[in-house]
């Protein structure tokens, strides 16, 4: 730095000795150099009417300003503060509707972490969850959770269909290329960074009873909004306390067994058929069940309101079983992706166009996504959620 300052002073000193401003010296030097580099042409002289003077030229350094070390530090600190303020612009929620973030002018640098604000990705992502965002996204696949921008705000959604895929409906259920969307996600369950969460089904120990032959413990499911009347398992989202809508039966169930002291079979009632499976890693899933033969008299009688039965070990007292065993079980259901709200704009069946992505939220009843706004440009996706951790401080809405 010292060498540079010295060089500057030397240049200024030479200009002063010539009696010309630095700019005038530059003009004359450029003109003279141009003449010298073109020997085959006749020299082009400046008109005698035009001669640059000090009044015609502005000096490059009109004055010298000597700053103290303290002033320099204050300038640097102010510049750093301005950069930090600009980098945070647009990443704090204002008075916006749930599931969106005010972003009138967003910085080009996207966040690598963010805090979820809103409920459109429940139960997978909850308000306050800290997420890690990867850039770039790479090749997207069905089931990936991404950060995207539409309707003037940034959102977190799940990829449901890609360019060329056909999205349709079957009794309100979303199908992609003729297959239920939740089945696509389940197929990639192991490789998904953020797989869909499950919804707890409200049950009580009194809802379990032992069959007459003492071989099975059967669950009765109820509708909490109909005074506990017997009912199929419904697509209820208990967290959506302000949403009023009709509920639909679901058939993708999960039984969590908190204590296992013998090898038990679990039987599910699915699509008017019985499917039995084993407990693996304290879980039994209806989607992995094998179809039971209708002539198998050893299986219990189940229906939509009695969708689960657990095989009991031999020689168990029925009263003792009903008092102790039900506390071991938790019934959950998978998310069922639907579009049965007439006001939505999607016109099924539809094919996702080139360069577009069809996205959905895991909180199916309340999420604003491609069912409402249509497919979003792939270029609007600026990151992929790769991990979820404890809450942090920066925010991006879902």
**Which of 78, 318, 122 is closest to 239 using CA atoms?**
122
- Is the distance from CB of 91 to CB of 394 less than 8 angstroms? yes
Q: How many other CB atoms sit within 10 Å of the CB of residue 326?
A: 18
**Mean pLDDT in consecutive groups of 10 residues from the start of the chain, 398 residues:** 36 37 34 38 44 44 52 67 45 32 43 85 92 83 94 93 97 96 95 95 93 91 93 93 89 89 83 89 89 74 95 71 78 95 81 97 95 94 86 48
Give the Cα separation of 18 and 341 in Å (integer).
84
DSSP 363-397: STTT--SHHHH--EEGGGEEEEEEEEES--S-EEE
Q: Is 352 exposed, middle or buried (0-12, 13-18, 19+ CB in 10 A)?
A: buried
How many Å is the Cα radius of gyration of the chain? 35
Per-residue model confidence (pLDDT) at position 143? 97
**Which of 178, 179, 137 is closest to 157 using CA atoms?**
137
Q: Is 19 helix (H, G, I), strand (E, B) or coil?
A: coil
Count of CA atoms in the C-beta half-sphere (13 A) of 174: 30
**All domains of the chain in start order, with CATH:** 1-37+47-62 (no CATH), 113-197+338-397 (2.10.109.10), 198-334 (no CATH)
User: How are beta strands 113-117 and 395-397 bridged, if at all?
Assistant: parallel
- Is the distance from CB of 397 to CB of 101 less than 8 angstroms? yes
Torsion of CA 122, 397, 114, 388, to 10 degrees: 10
Give the Cα separation of 42 and 40 in Å (integer).
7
pTM over 0.75: no
Per-residue model confidence (pLDDT) at position 339? 94
């Amino acid at each position: 730095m010292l060498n540079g300052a010295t060089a500057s002073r030397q240049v200024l000193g030479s200009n002063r000795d010539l009696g010309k401003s630095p700019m005038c010296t530059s003009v004359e030097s450029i003109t003279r150099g141009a003449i010298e580099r073109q020997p085959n042409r006749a020299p082009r002289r400046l008109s005698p009417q035009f001669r640059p003077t000090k009044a015609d030229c502005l000096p490059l350094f009109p004055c010298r300003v000597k700053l103290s070390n303290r002033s320099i530090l204050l300038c640097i600190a102010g510049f750093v503060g301005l950069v930090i303020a600009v980098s945070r612009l647009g990443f704090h929620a204002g008075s916006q509707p749930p599931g969106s973030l005010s972003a009138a002018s967003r910085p080009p640098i996207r966040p690598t972490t963010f805090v979820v604000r809103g409920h459109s990705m429940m139960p997978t992502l909850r308000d306050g969850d800290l997420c890690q965002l990867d850039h770039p996204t790479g090749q997207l696949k069905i089931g990936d959770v991404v950060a995207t921008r539409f309707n003037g705000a940034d959102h977190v959604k799940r990829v449901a269909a890609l360019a060329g895929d056909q999205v349709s409906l079957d009794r309100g259920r979303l199908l992609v290329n003729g297959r239920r969307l939740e089945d696509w996600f389940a197929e990639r369950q192991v490789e998904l960074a953020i797989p869909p969460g499950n919804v707890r089904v409200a049950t009580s120990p009194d809802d379990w009873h032992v069959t007459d032959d003492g071989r099975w413990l059967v669950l009765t499911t109820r509708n909490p909004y109909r005074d506990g009347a017997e009912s199929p398992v419904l697509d209820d989202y208990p967290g959506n306390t302000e949403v009023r809508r009709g509920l639909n039966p679901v058939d993708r169930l999960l039984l969590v067994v908190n204590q296992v002291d013998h090898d038990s079979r679990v039987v599910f009632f699915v699509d008017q058929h019985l499917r039995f499976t084993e407990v693996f890693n304290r879980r039994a899933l209806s989607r992995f069940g094998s179809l039971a033969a209708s002539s198998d008299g050893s299986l219990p009688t189940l229906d939509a309101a009695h969708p689960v039965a657990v095989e009991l070990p031999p020689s168990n007292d029925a009263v003792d079983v009903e008092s102790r065993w039900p506390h071991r079980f938790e019934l959950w259901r998978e998310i069922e992706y639907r579009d049965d709200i007439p006001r939505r704009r999607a016109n099924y069946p539809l094919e996702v166009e080139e360069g577009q992505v069809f996205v959905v939220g895991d909180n199916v009843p309340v999420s604003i996504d491609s069912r409402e706004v249509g497919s979003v440009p792939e270029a609007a996706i600026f990151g992929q959620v790769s991990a979820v951790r404890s809450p942090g401080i920066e925010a991006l809405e879902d």
